[in-house]
Chain A
Amino acid sequence: MELLVNISLLFMLSLTVIAVVRLKSLFAIVMLFGIYSLLSAMIFIALDAVDVAFTEAAVGAGISTVLMLATLVTTGRWEKKSSRSSFLPLLIVSITGAALVWGTLDMPEYGNPDNPAHHHVADRYIEQSPEEIGIPNMVTSVLASYRGFDTLGEVIVVFTALIGVLSLLQVRTPPSVAETPLRNENRKLSRPYPVLQVVALVMMPFIILFALYVQFHGDFGPGGGFQAGVIFAVAFILYTLTYGLDDALALTPVSVLKALAAGGVLIYGGTGVVSMLLGGNFLDYNVLSSNPVSGQHIGIIVIELGVGITVASVLICAFYAFMTRALPDQGQKG
Chain B
Amino acid sequence: MDSFFNEVISGALGRYNYWVVIFLMMSGFYVVIGSTNLVKKIVGLNIFQTSVFILYISIGKINGGTAPIVWANAERYSNPLPHVLILTAIVVGVATTALGLSLIMRIKHAYNTVEEDEILAISLEEDEDE
B102 in contact with A321 (CB, 8 Å): yes
CB-CB under 8 A for A104 and B61, given A26-B37, A67-B101, A143-B84: no
Does residue A111 face the partner (Cβ distance < 8 Å to B)?
Answer: yes
CB-CB under 8 A for A44 and B22, given A59-B93, A92-B33, A142-B84: no
List B contacts of A80 (CB < 8 A).
36-37, 115, 118
Distance between Cα atoms of A70 and B42 in the complex (Å): 14
Distance between Cα atoms of A226 and B35 in the complex (Å): 32
B34 in contact with A10 (CB, 8 Å): no
A21 in contact with B31 (CB, 8 Å): yes
B67 in contact with A48 (CB, 8 Å): yes
B50 in contact with A36 (CB, 8 Å): yes
Does residue B103 face the partner (Cβ distance < 8 Å to A)?
Answer: yes
A115 in contact with B17 (CB, 8 Å): no
List B contacts of A50 (CB < 8 A).
67, 69
List B contacts of A125 (CB < 8 A).
68, 80-81
CB-CB under 8 A for A60 and B62, given A82-B35, A109-B11: no
Contact string, B52-74, partner A, CB cutoff 8 A, digits 1/0?
A: 01100111111111111111000
B94 in contact with A169 (CB, 8 Å): no
Distance between Cα atoms of A168 and B102 in the complex (Å): 7
Nearest opposing residue in chain A for B26, CB measure: A97
| Size of interface on B: residues with Cβ below 8 Å to A | 86
Q: List 30 A-B contacts (CB under 8 A).
A: A14-B24, A17-B27, A17-B47, A26-B37, A29-B40, A48-B61, A48-B68, A100-B22, A100-B26, A109-B14, A109-B15, A110-B17, A110-B18, A117-B79, A138-B77, A139-B68, A150-B88, A154-B91, A157-B95, A158-B92, A164-B102, A168-B105, A169-B102, A169-B105, A221-B69, A222-B69, A226-B87, A226-B90, A322-B98, A325-B102
CB-CB under 8 A for A6 and B17, given A47-B78, A138-B69, A161-B99: yes
B24 in contact with A52 (CB, 8 Å): no
Going nearest first, the 6 A-B pairs with the smallest beta carbon separation are A109-B14, A89-B34, A161-B95, A111-B63, A48-B78, A136-B70
Does residue A18 face the partner (Cβ distance < 8 Å to B)?
Answer: yes
| Size of interface on A: residues with Cβ below 8 Å to B | 104
Nearest opposing residue in chain A for B77, CB measure: A126
Nearest opposing residue in chain B for A158, CB measure: B95
B48 to A: closest C-beta gap in Å: 10
Q: Show the binding face of B for A, using Cβ within 8 Å.
A: 10-11, 13-20, 22-31, 33-40, 42-44, 46-47, 50, 53-54, 57-71, 76-84, 86-99, 101-106, 108-109, 114-115, 117-118
List B contacts of A117 (CB < 8 A).
59-60, 79, 82
B15 to A: closest C-beta gap in Å: 5
CB-CB under 8 A for A169 and B106, given A48-B65, A49-B57: yes
A126 to B: closest C-beta gap in Å: 5
CB contacts between A and B, total, < 8 Å: 300
B43 in contact with A122 (CB, 8 Å): no
Distance between Cα atoms of A104 and B18 in the complex (Å): 7
B91 in contact with A76 (CB, 8 Å): no
B104 in contact with A75 (CB, 8 Å): yes
List A contacts of B81 (CB < 8 A).
121-122, 125, 142
List A contacts of B78 (CB < 8 A).
47-49
A20 in contact with B68 (CB, 8 Å): no
Nearest opposing residue in chain B for A315, CB measure: B94
A40 in contact with B54 (CB, 8 Å): yes
CB-CB under 8 A for A226 and B53, given A86-B34, A101-B22, A321-B102: no
